[in-house]
Structure 1
Amino acid sequence: MKKYLLFILIISTLVLKAQSLSYVDQAVLFSSDDNYGTARFAAMSGAFGALGGDMTAVDINPAGLAVFNSTGFSTTLSYRETNTKSTFYGSTINNSDDYFRFSQIGGVVAIPSYGNSDFKKFTFGFNYNLIKDYNNNYAVQGNSGFAYFNEDPNLNFDDDDSNNIYYNNVDEQFFSNYTSGINDRFTLSFATQYKDFLSLGASISFQNIDFFQNTYYEELNNDGNGNLLDAFNNQFLTTYGNGFNFGFGAILKANQNLRIGLSYQSPIWYDLTERFIITDPDSIYIDTPYPWVDGELDVIVSNNENGYFNETIPNFFDYSINTPSKLTGSLAYIFGQNGLISFDYTYRDYTSTKLKPSSFFIDENEDLNTILNSTSSFKIGTEWRVKNFSFRGGYRYTESPYKNADSSTNITGYSLGLGIKLSRTINFDFAFDNTTYTGSSKFINIEAVKPANLDFDTKRFTSTLVVLF
């Protein structure tokens, strides 16, 4: 008679994290952002460090707020579609997901100075902006030839049947990853114009993170004698919390055409809460250990369709992340009323990322120093005006923060856009943005098993209404 084994596998924290994001990966994810913003900002790939005059630009250089000469507001609607192709030992799966929401709303108040003051005006602004959405899903299927539940030395289980069976033949391996949530920001900013050649600005931003990840791994094995093993592992990671940071910047009007910008964005100081659980087929859950607990959880394997647990450790865990700061240098050349071209360079040192409490994250903070690197990003944007129409385009390139990463993991993107001046006080803008990069998923924690290759292609459509008074 054939035996059919079904069990839930609870393993050590390190093995569990092989499916879900590691703390190093979380630190990188929570430090990154997408090209969200107003349609004008998105159409020029965010190259606004020396320009200003846009609500989203204050997140790069708050001095750009001083470019506004009047009071106004803007609101933005975004649609994003991502196609993900996974490849694992010759098997390919194509996945697609999309996301739609209001992604920006902000306002500005410009107050001219009176008398003979060298400070010509003072400008105050507020802006809500979506930084990154985490909504994505992909699946991986194939056969590595390695039976994970037999090969991994960390697994600790007991067979309650005296007839030992070794399931060393792999029929199929399947992995799915589902994520959702957002990272958004609310910014208060202030800027002033000194004489006719210098703008100065400062900002404070309040960040919010709400991240959810569900990973599912299933493996079909057999022993060559008709005995089958269907083993799977289902994990849930939830991380949420808040943070804040400061920004400072200046824009110098070198001459009638040339603008030079310099800005600094401090680290974001996040306070986060994590919950990490595993469920069985009947939705009975067991929490995993705290990250600083070293040890294994025993799993009892049964020859019927039940799984048994004999240990439980709850996990609601508070911790902090300090993301790397940003230093941005910018140039812009203005061709009168006809158009402009702008360039931004941003430097970030990801080795400065810190997880706290430090005593609980000794190994992870060492990994941040050894696995990550400093990065450079380049943005170039242009805009040309013809009567009531503005034609825009841009390109951006961001290096991967991981040392020894393949060049294909660097993020590249281009953008196009159109602005329409409907009246003296109302503008309507559109943008299209395309971003591509590659990644990998090491969901089987065996050195000999290669990770799955992932190709990401994201298209984003943005529309913005701007009203000036």
Structure 2
Amino acid sequence: MKKLSFLIIGALSMSQLMAQDISDALRYSFDDIQGTARFRSMSGAFGALGGDLSAISINPAGSSVFTRSYATFSLSVQTINNDVNYFGNNRSSSESKFDLNQIGGAFVFNNTNGNSPWKKFVLGVSYDKVANFNNDWTASGTNTNNSIASYFTSIAQGLRLDEISKFPEESYSEAYSYIGYAYGYYNQQAFLGKESHIIAPVNDIPSNTSYVSNIAPGSYRQNYYYSARGYNGKLAFNMSSQFKDKLYLGLNLNTHFINYERFTYLNESNNNSGSLVHEVGFENGLYTIGTGFSFQLGAIGKLTESLRLGATYTSPTWYTIAEETTQYLETYRTEGGQEIAQIINPNIINVFPDYRLQTPGKFTGSLAYVFGDKGLLSFDYSIRDYSNTKFKPKSDPYFSSQNSLIRNTLSTASSYRFGGEYRIQRVSLRAGYRFEESPYKNNDLYGDLNGYSFGIGYNFGNFKLDAAFDQSKQDVNYQLYNVGLTDNALIDSKVSNFVVTLGFNI
């Protein structure tokens, strides 16, 4: 894979912002809290329980369940196994990452005024990894439907030839940068296709707006490489209080962090009769950083000594996101009996204006039954309307079209989490199950998630040691490009986590 060297930075105006789509919106909308080992071993069913630092991320009232100040940190190993099918050809990959995925503390202040119904006040802070973006896979197969040329021809139609062409005195870098600044991201794509000879104008005049492919119909051997790195993290500042022995109330003020990098590379070759271009290598890089804010309101009520009910409202997350893109294109063609390599390496970083993303809010209802000091059972139900996801400013024409697509494509999704714990003196045995519905109206695009978990813990007195293993499975139809070459790679993804947590009184 050709690596890009970055020499020039090109800024694009807001009206030319074309890098964001529904996949970006969803990527930052999921909140799969990785959490402590106890939290993970019960599949995150903690909304009515509390007493765990990661449980605060589900229901902020949970910190008041602590009887004394407490802190934890968690280490994890996450492994992602992908089985990828592309036009009947299967490829498998595996990626593992070791990480500090959780750290936090809760500070309990007991009310010494015996006449007050407010028994305690708790301040807490907890960091949780919401998502790990590390993922690598390859899709390989023979496509008889679409060539990468369809990507460039689809974009180029309707664009003037003189607005996607290099002047004789310009370098590729200068032309790519100016076209992006003056006309936008789509014109840059058409420029790449035209200058690499993948597409050609129907008429060689400046006002031409029609283009044809220089890659003939037939079959195309395609290898698509996907590599991503990064994370989404959440830092929660927690306040909660206990009212008498029946009610716990809490508030979280959350700061969110996004760091995401993605590289894709498509290699396509053909020996179709009539093809001028017989091989293409196309690389795209995306770099994203962002910050966001959200809040949570939660309550836990003791209906009886054993039965507990929890409720949480999680606000939308309001992100401000900055993105940069890079591109590289190389083609090989046979012309006049000679093999010609055409390399377009603009050495340009496209810097897009910051944009805003609002992810949907969520409601969670929880129920738990505690069997004294013997164990417990817990259930969480959450609902979130992903069609409420919004790019902003909504007045931007491109964002308006994406928001319309989101409303028509995404829907309300529910998640169900079950967990249980059984204690044998100082030893705790735990297990859980979770099911999360697809955010898409069409489940074939993005399947439901199924996961299970189990774990063990030991209470040493002043500190506790917990370990957990969980695994989830989900099918995803990954679309290679937004236009033209829109064929899907079917990815059967299995994510496994092993987590160890040390907790101690402070």
TM-score (norm 1): 0.86
Name the residue aligned to 1:250: 299
In the TM superposition, what whole-angstrom CA distance separates every residue of 1:232-276 from its partner, at most 9, and x where no partner exists?
210011111100111111111001110000111111110000112
Q: Any residues of structure 2 matched to 1:175-254 within 5 Å, and which? A: 175-224=224-273, 229-254=278-303
Which moved further from structure 2: 430-439 or 402-411?
Answer: 402-411
Q: 1:118 touches 1:194 (CA, 8 Å); kept in 2?
A: yes
Is 2:26 the counterpart of 1:28?
yes
Q: 2:307 touches 2:367 (CA, 8 Å); kept in 1?
A: yes
> How big is the shift at 1:305?
1.2
Q: Any residues of structure 2 matched to 1:40-119 within 5 Å, and which? A: 40-115=38-113, 116-119=115-118
Change (3 A) 1:223 1:406: closer
Change (3 A) 1:21 1:177: farther
Is 2:466 the counterpart of 1:429?
yes
User: Match for 1:372: what amino acid?
Assistant: L
Q: 2:34 touches 2:131 (CA, 8 Å); kept in 1?
A: yes
Is 2:456 the counterpart of 1:418?
yes
Change (3 A) 1:311 1:416: closer
Instruction: Tell me which of 379, 386, 391 is aligned to 1:343.
Output: 379
Change (3 A) 1:166 1:456: closer
Q: 2:295 touches 2:314 (CA, 8 Å); kept in 1?
A: yes
The unaligned stretches of length 5 or more in structure 1 are 1-12, 14-19, 283-301
Name the residue aligned to 2:496: 459
In 1, Cα distance between the equivalents of 2:264 and 2:383?
Answer: 33
Name the residue aligned to 2:140: 141
In 2, Cα distance between the equivalents of 1:118 and 1:320?
Answer: 43
> How big is the shift at 1:102?
0.7
Q: 1:343 touches 1:379 (CA, 8 Å); kept in 2?
A: yes
Change (3 A) 1:234 1:425: same
> How big is the shift at 1:418?
0.1
User: Match for 2:236: what amino acid?
Assistant: T
Instruction: Tell me which of 353, 360, 372 is aligned to 1:324.
Output: 360
Change (3 A) 1:429 1:304: same
Change (3 A) 1:387 1:165: closer
> How big is the shift at 1:223?
3.2
User: Match for 2:426: what amino acid?
Assistant: N
Name the residue aligned to 1:3: none
The unaligned stretches of length 5 or more in structure 2 are 1-11, 13-17, 157-189, 205-212, 332-337
In the TM superposition, what whole-angstrom CA distance separates every residue of 1:61-117 from its partner, at most 9, and x where no partner exists?
101110001012101001000100100111000011011111111111111102210
In 2, Cα distance between the equivalents of 1:427 and 1:171?
Answer: 58
In the TM superposition, what whole-angstrom CA distance separates every residue of 1:350-379 from its partner, at most 9, and x where no partner exists?
111111111221101111111110110000
In 2, Cα distance between the equivalents of 1:51 and 1:42?
Answer: 14
Other structure's SS at 2:308 match: strand
Change (3 A) 1:130 1:466: same
Name the residue aligned to 1:289: none
In 2, Cα distance between the equivalents of 1:129 and 1:448?
Answer: 37
Change (3 A) 1:117 1:389: same
In 2, Cα distance between the equivalents of 1:329 and 1:165?
Answer: 58
Name the residue aligned to 1:381: 419
In 2, Cα distance between the equivalents of 1:195 and 1:113?
Answer: 11
In 2, Cα distance between the equivalents of 1:234 and 1:78?
Answer: 32
Q: Any residues of structure 2 matched to 1:225-374 within 5 Å, and which? A: 229-280=278-329, 304-307=340-343, 314-360=350-396, 361-374=399-412
Change (3 A) 1:311 1:454: closer
TM-score (norm 2): 0.80
User: Match for 2:412: what amino acid?
Assistant: S
Change (3 A) 1:21 1:377: farther
User: Match for 1:373: what amino acid?
Assistant: S
In 2, Cα distance between the equivalents of 1:330 and 1:240?
Answer: 34
Q: 2:82 touches 2:94 (CA, 8 Å); kept in 1?
A: yes
Name the residue aligned to 2:168: none
> How big is the shift at 1:25?
1.1
Give RMSD over aligned pairs. 2.7
User: Match for 2:133: what amino acid?
Assistant: Y
Change (3 A) 1:179 1:21: farther
> How big is the shift at 1:279?
2.2
Is 2:167 the counterpart of 1:167?
no
Other structure's SS at 2:43 match: coil
> How big is the shift at 1:451?
1.4
In 2, Cα distance between the equivalents of 1:41 and 1:32?
Answer: 18
User: Match for 1:438: what amino acid?
Assistant: D
In 2, Cα distance between the equivalents of 1:225 and 1:450?
Answer: 23
In 1, Cα distance between the equivalents of 2:412 and 2:146?
Answer: 38
In 1, Cα distance between the equivalents of 2:215 and 2:230?
Answer: 41
> How big is the shift at 1:35?
4.3
User: Match for 1:325: what amino acid?
Assistant: G
In 2, Cα distance between the equivalents of 1:24 and 1:386?
Answer: 48
User: Match for 1:195: what amino acid?
Assistant: K
Name the residue aligned to 2:36: 38
Q: How many residues align?
A: 430
> How big is the shift at 1:312?
8.3
Q: Any residues of structure 2 matched to 1:390-429 within 5 Å, and which? A: 390-406=428-444, 409-422=447-460, 424-429=461-466
Q: Any residues of structure 2 matched to 1:119-138 within 5 Å, and which? A: 119-138=118-137
In 2, Cα distance between the equivalents of 1:227 and 1:172?
Answer: 16
> How big is the shift at 1:218?
1.4
Q: 2:60 touches 2:251 (CA, 8 Å); kept in 1?
A: yes
Which moved further from structure 2: 447-456 or 413-422?
Answer: 447-456
Which moved further from structure 2: 100-109 or 447-456?
Answer: 447-456
